[in-house]
Amino acid sequence: MKAYLRIVPILIVSILFTSCIKDEKTEQIVESKAEKSNKVGSITLVIHGGAGTILKKNMTPEKEQAYRKKLDEALQTGYAILEEGGTSMSAVVAAIQVMEESPLFNSGIGAVYTHEGRNELDASVMDGNTGKAGAVAGVTTIKSPIRAALEVMNNSPHVMMAGPGAETFAEEQGLEMVDNSYFGTERRKKALEKALEKEADKTSDLLQYQDWKYGTVGAVALDKDGNLAAGTSTGGMTNKRYGRIGDSPIIGAGTFAENISCGVSATGHGEYFIRNAVAYDIAARMKYLNISVEESAKEVIQKKLVDKGGSGGVICLDRSGNIAMEFNTLGMYRGYMQNGEAHVFIYKNE
């Protein structure tokens, strides 16, 4: 019995010693993986101009060229800022502003109409280095919603502002204000008229949405300091009612960025992206499951979102410069610029 009592302490010490060694090795493995994943890549810009039923057979050569040219312009504009040593946030805002000023997309000029026949816009930004974010929702007279979101982040204690209050704040910050008619286009008016005609034939006007070409725009960038930033801007859904707000201005749903994981900007049926916290989920899976940005985006968009009945896409970028442009629709206006080379895509198999 005495011998047994002498052996027990020795065994306990041995077990504890072995456990400590294993813990140290485990920590070293985790740290090495973290260091590898946090290795800073070259400056990169990724953009999207919306996902949906985008088919080559429905696109004229002239229209396709117009989309490709504008996407390239957005890439060149944002990337030039990164090349000059500018921040990822500055690049994101600049790239999105190019698309906000084009009638091709559902953001800024060319925004879709609400049921009441006006344009209501949403936007958000998030800084992957500081974790700060800003957003505006349901605004009607701010020329650049993405710039307003930036002002909310930089010059207020809040994350989101909506409606008239957000417009008052934007005006106080010196942003350019416009009449709501500035955003309207004939193409979007016809889309609303068509939606209203179809609505008259249905028993429910809330569950059936028209215009499945989600023209939301977004960008994610990585700067020379290894900082990520993301932003998204949209006009929402054609024939939306009752002040409906989608995922675009909601941090974690339509926009998310953190240096330790990735930056994300989404486009699609917003209600599904909100319910499933899509943007954050992609980043969280990278951290907690230790998977790549490509794997994470694919799991969320092609499996989780599809299983829930949601459609749309995302652009993602991690700190190492790895890119994911995942979508479960027939097309997504998208592109990226890295190492000085711009690449633009529209259709599913490009």
Residues known to be catalytic:
216
- Secondary structure letter of residue 273 according to DSSP: H
CA gap 237, 148 in Å, rounded: 20
Closest to 286 measured CA to CA, from 166, 75, 128? 128
Alpha carbon distance 27, 259 (integer Å): 21
Q: Residue 267 and residue 312: Cα distance in Å, rounded?
A: 6
HEC states along 127-168? ECCCCCEEEEEEECCECCHHHHHHHHHHHCCCCEEEHHHHHH
User: For the purposes of burial, counting CB atoms within 10 Å of the CB of 113, is it exposed (0-12), middle (13-18) or buried (19 or more)?
Assistant: buried
Structure tokens of 305? 């979102």
Q: Are the beta carbons of 72 and 345 closer than 8 angstroms?
A: no
Q: Let me know: does 111 contact 235? Beta carbons within 8 Å.
A: yes
Query: Do 220 and 316 meet the contact criterion of CB atoms below 8 Å apart?
Result: yes
* Amino acid letter, residue 282: I
